[in-house]
Structure 1
Amino acid sequence: MSSAREDILDAVRRARGRGPLASPTRATLDALIATPVRHLRPLFDEDLTARFIRKLESRSGTVARVTGRAQVPDAVETFRSAHDIAARAAVGAGLSDLVWPADWIIHHDRAGIEETLSVSPAFAGIAETGTLMLLASPDSPTTHNFVPDNQVVILETTRILRHFEDAWAALRERTDGMPRAVNLVSGPSRTADIEQTIQLGAHGPRRLHVVLVD
């Protein structure tokens, strides 16, 4: 037990006029805390990639597939030109090794208010709901997820996991610790607050495009 936690529990016991727990009781409680809780999870036999795509597209997201990382810039350019977006993008530093179109204006910093397009890598995809797990880091600044009108996320198909619990378990196994923020994104930003009519882009991107790298 951590010293901070022990200090807090001691303060609570003193406030309630109680002494330390007996050793057998404490051992039992520590064992319960250490036992992982397995929540009920939906069962499905669908291919993980196929389900991820289906769920994401049901929430107005779009998907393109490529066979390698080198094809990512071309896939992003296809999306950009199809929507007549300016040839400027905030690209996560985790994608700086890729060769981007020569006529683009590229930077690897946070997205400013003038940004219309961001391109970021995803830590994981969750097939259960078609959700992206995005981690705040220099490789993928959180502003990329909220500021531009158009967000492109790069996801390797090997990083598509079955359930939310699997994604959190993978996150805990990272050797560089927990990020400052974790964003779970399941489609473009939307609201129905205005006359119960769906409006895209209410609190973030109005378009979410995922490039799946096989």
Structure 2
Amino acid sequence: MTARDEILGRVRKGVGKGDFAQRKIDAQAWLTARTRGPQPALAGDLLERFRNKAESLSSTVEAVADRGAVPAAVARYLAAQNLGTEVVMTPDVAALNWIAHGVRGTARAAADADRVGVTACFCAVAETGTLMLLSAPDSPATVSLLPETHIALVDASRVVATMEDAFALLRAERGEIPRAINFVSGPSRTGDIEQTIVLGAHGPCRVHLILIGTSS
């Protein structure tokens, strides 16, 4: 064994690269043993908190009673914003009755020319007014990132209090972390130029939320 081999061997041993399976077990054990740090006490109704925080971040919100009312709500928003009737959507929302309400939706990944993207979300965080979206074959990330307008469907039953609760729900329901997790807190923005906030700098300039399961 050369001096180089000996040094690299000690480095590998020190970082545990010799046994991937054991490193994975150790990492899972560490995560399981972790306790949550201090969290704010959220007073009042979670849905009201989520809506207020989302609107403070320049999102717009419409509440509907059930998923059947979603296509009509999307059609109203498109008409009010003069956005036409064509949208690209994630396959997981394509089964809704879009045609009956004049919305022409295509279920696929988004392209640069698409103006409006419609997605579901895994859950939403009341503390910050944030959406949690997971990448998957039926929920391509481009639909929420490329179009200038992002319309997101948010089930009221999937609004959790904190980011920690969102990750706990992910671990409980999915087990493994997906390839990508995207957090959406209102339209894309930047303040790089003279500290002036500009929306839509590197993503959607409009985010509209359809809150499902409440009519208030």
TM-score by length of 1: 0.84
Q: 1:13: Cα distance to partner?
A: 7.7
Which residue of 2 is the match for residue 114 of structure 1? 113
Note the residue ranges of structure 2 that are not aligned, 5 or more in a row: 1-8, 17-27
Q: 2:13 aligns with which of 3, 11, 18?
A: 11
Which residue of 1 is the match for residue 56 of structure 2? 58
Which residue of 1 is the match for residue 19 of structure 2? none
Which residue of 2 is the match for residue 190 of structure 1? 189
Q: 1:9 to 1:211 in 2, by over 3 A?
A: farther
Q: 1:146 to 1:67 in 2, by over 3 A?
A: same
Which residue of 1 is the match for residue 140 of structure 2? 141
CA RMSD of aligned residues (A): 2.5
TM-score by length of 2: 0.83
* Alpha-carbon separation, structure 2, partners of 1:113 and 1:213: 29
Q: 1:175: Cα distance to partner?
A: 3.9
Q: 1:186 to 1:13 in 2, by over 3 A?
A: closer
* Alpha-carbon separation, structure 2, partners of 1:198 and 1:73: 32
Which residue of 2 is the match for residue 105 of structure 1? 104
> Does the aligned pair in 1 maintain the 2:98–2:104 contact within 8 Å?
no
> Does the aligned pair in 2 maintain the 1:120–1:139 contact within 8 Å?
no
> Does the aligned pair in 2 maintain the 1:90–1:144 contact within 8 Å?
yes
* Alpha-carbon separation, structure 1, partners of 2:169 and 2:131: 13
SS in 2 for 1:188: coil
Note the residue ranges of structure 1 that are not aligned, 5 or more in a row: 1-6, 15-29
Q: How many residues align?
A: 195
Within 5 Å, give how 1:1-214 maps onto structure 2: 11-12=13-14, 34-101=32-99, 103-175=102-174, 177-214=176-213
Q: 1:10: Cα distance to partner?
A: 7.0
* Alpha-carbon separation, structure 2, partners of 1:53 and 1:63: 7
Q: 1:101: Cα distance to partner?
A: 3.0
* Alpha-carbon separation, structure 1, partners of 2:153 and 2:30: 39
Q: 1:176: Cα distance to partner?
A: 6.5
SS in 2 for 1:172: helix
Moved over 4 A (4+): 7-10, 30-34
